[in-house]
């Protein structure tokens, strides 16, 4: 039997529904697609939180040692020790990554833009959850 309802879906609609990443590659973002949350936010005790969609990473500041300038991994500016800090991010049970970031987080994100934040997020995520048995 033939379905009496008219077909209202195009190939692009089906691709967007079934394979959203393929749709974005072929047709670009859809006007209804919201960009995932992406940002670096200050939290308590000098820590920072990197949010990318439903993923969250916590950056813990390390005690400053030495007197040399630091190169920010986000905006790629060279900063003095008072303007930048070194952070540790736990990415797996026994693995950490170390990232240098400006202490003026909002201005740093403005210089880096969304592309810079995505590049940083791709270096950090996905985090491996520690297995407890």
Chain Cα centroid distance, residue 73: 13
Q: What angle do CA 54, 112, 105 make, to 5 degrees?
A: 70
Instruction: Please say whether the beta carbons of 101 and 87 come within 8 A.
Output: yes
Q: What is the pLDDT of residue 20?
A: 63
Instruction: Determine the Cα–Cα distance for residues 129 and 39; give it in Å rounded to an integer.
Output: 21
Q: Widest CA span of the chain, in angstroms? A: 79
Give the residue from 130, 61, 65, 64 showing the smallest Cα distance to 91: 130
pLDDT digits (tens, 9 = 90+) for 85-119: 999 999 888 889 999 999 999 999 999 999 999 99
Average confidence score pLDDT of the chain: 83
Residues 21-35 as b or e (16 or more Cβ within 10 Å = b): eebeeeeeeeeeeee
pLDDT digits (tens, 9 = 90+) for 15-37: 666 666 665 556 555 555 566 78
pTM above 0.85, yes or no: no
Q: Band the pLDDT of 64: cuts 50, 70, 90.
A: confident
Instruction: Please say whether the beta carbons of 73 and 120 come within 8 A.
Output: yes
Cis ω on the peptide bond leading into residue 126 (within 30° of 0)? Answer: yes
pLDDT digits (tens, 9 = 90+) for 70-89: 999 999 999 999 999 999 99
Q: What is the pLDDT of residue 126?
A: 85
């Amino acid at each position: 039997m033939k379905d009496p309802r008219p077909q209202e879906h195009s190939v692009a609609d089906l691709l967007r529904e079934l394979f959203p990443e393929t749709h974005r590659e072929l047709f670009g973002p859809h006007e209804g697609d919201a960009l995932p949350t992406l940002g670096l936010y200050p939290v308590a005790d000098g820590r920072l939180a990197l949010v990318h969609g439903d993923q969250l990473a916590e950056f813990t500041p390390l005690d400053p040692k030495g007197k040399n300038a630091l190169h920010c991994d986000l905006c790629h500016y060279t900063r003095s020790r008072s303007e930048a800090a070194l952070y540790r991010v736990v990415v797996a049970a026994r693995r950490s990554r170390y990232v240098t970031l400006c202490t003026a987080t909002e201005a740093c994100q403005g210089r880096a833009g969304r592309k810079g934040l995505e590049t940083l997020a791709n270096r950090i995520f996905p985090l491996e959850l520690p297995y407890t048995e």
